[in-house]
Amino acid sequence: MNGYSIESHLKAAGLSFDALDIVEKTFKVNGVQKLRGKVVGRLGSELRREYANQNGEKDINAVSTGCYCIGIGGEYQIRYSDGFASRVVYIGSGNVYGRLKSHLKDKLFDFAHAMRGIPLTFHIADLRESKLDHKNLEQMLLDKFKSNSGGSLPLLNKNNAVNKAMDSPSESKLKAGWDKPLHKDKGKQVAKWLIEPRNFDEWKGILD
């Protein structure tokens, strides 16, 4: 699910990130949170419509047990260590829609503010009818990311999904595409720009 821009929803509300900065400096925090809430509500409605369109009218709000990856879209990837690059910035799990809205209302909004015009992407796995535990899949994705990146976690992750080793199925027993968000871009999807923060630690763990 690609192309979700907080900036575009700000414009639809007659605002911009710059205008929001001025409001934040001028008015009480409560007023700014209401504006954020309005924008996130717009984006949340778009996310629900798009998920329903792509998944046989299923409601993302009903995905009480799932796993998700947040990435950046457009022509951009994050440059990690040793020449590794990826669109993925966070891997999480739980009640998907509730978690995403919580992220968007808080630190993911700040991240989008820093990224400005670069849209967010969301990959969602509904595990309600799966025997695979959502924390298990989250950890498998984190392990695969670390293996690809030479040990780095996604930009906004600081911790593993679990604090101790857990039994995980072999990759051969999982459905094809379980790690699709981690695949390299091909063809026209290949990113043209690599970007990186000046300080990775500034963003580590903001969604954990």
Q: How far is CA 163 from the centre of its chain?
A: 22
Q: What does the pLDDT look like over 101-137, one tens digit per residue?
A: 999 988 999 999 899 889 999 999 999 988 888 999 9
- Taking the model in full, what pTM does it have? 0.88
Average pLDDT for 174-189? 79
Answer for the pair 86, 77: CB distance below 8 angstroms, yes or no: yes
Q: What is the mean pLDDT of residues 77-83?
A: 89
Q: Is 85 left (phi over 0), alpha (psi -120 to 50) or beta?
A: beta
Fill in the DSSP letter of residue 78. E
Report domain extents, the chain: 63-202
